Structure 1
Amino acid sequence: MVAWPGTAGAAGRVVAGRVVVGVSGSLASLAALRAGAEQARRGGRVLVAVMAWEPPEGEALYLRHPDRAWARHWEAAARARLDRAFDEVFGGTPPGVATERRVVRARPGHALCDLATHPDDLLVLGVGPRRHRTTRTHRYVRAHAPCAVLTVRPPTPPRRLRRTLRNLTPQDFTLASR
Structure 2
Amino acid sequence: MNETDLSPVVRPARVVVGVTGSASSAAALRRAVYEARCTRSVLVPVLAWEPPGGETVYRMAPEPRLAALWALRAEERLQASIAAAGGIPDDVAVERIVVRAPAAFALNALADQSGDLLVLGAGGRGRLARFLHGHVRRCAAAGARAPVLLVAPPASPRKLRRELRRITPEDFAGPRRPSGG
Whole-angstrom distance in 1 between the partners of 2:49 and 2:151: 21
Whole-angstrom distance in 1 between the partners of 2:80 and 2:25: 12
The CA deviation at 1:98 is 0.9
Letter in 1 for 2:161: R
8 Å CA contact 2:33–2:88 kept in 1: the answer is no
Whole-angstrom distance in 1 between the partners of 2:30 and 2:173: 31
Map residues 25-174 of structure 1 onto 2, 5 A cutoff.
Answer: 25-90=21-86, 92-126=87-121, 127-131=123-127, 132-133=129-130, 135-174=134-173
Whole-angstrom distance in 2 between the partners of 1:56 and 1:68: 13
| TM-score of the pair, normalised by structure 1 | 0.85
Percent identity at matched positions?
Answer: 46
The CA deviation at 1:115 is 0.2
Structure (1 or 2) with the larger CA radius of gyration: 2
Tell me which moved more, 56-65 or 72-81: 56-65
Letter in 2 for 1:22: G
Letter in 2 for 1:2: V
The CA deviation at 1:175 is 4.3
Whole-angstrom distance in 2 between the partners of 1:165 and 1:111: 34
Structure 1 unmatched ranges of 5 or more: 5-14
2:45 is paired with a residue whose SS is strand
Letter in 1 for 2:130: R
| TM-score of the pair, normalised by structure 2 | 0.83
1:36 is paired with a residue whose SS is helix
Whole-angstrom distance in 2 between the partners of 1:96 and 1:175: 45
Letter in 1 for 2:55: E
Letter in 1 for 2:158: R
Letter in 1 for 2:21: G
Give the corresponding residue for 1:7.
none
The CA deviation at 1:141 is 1.1
Whole-angstrom distance in 2 between the partners of 1:23 and 1:147: 18
2:19 to 12, 17, 23: 23
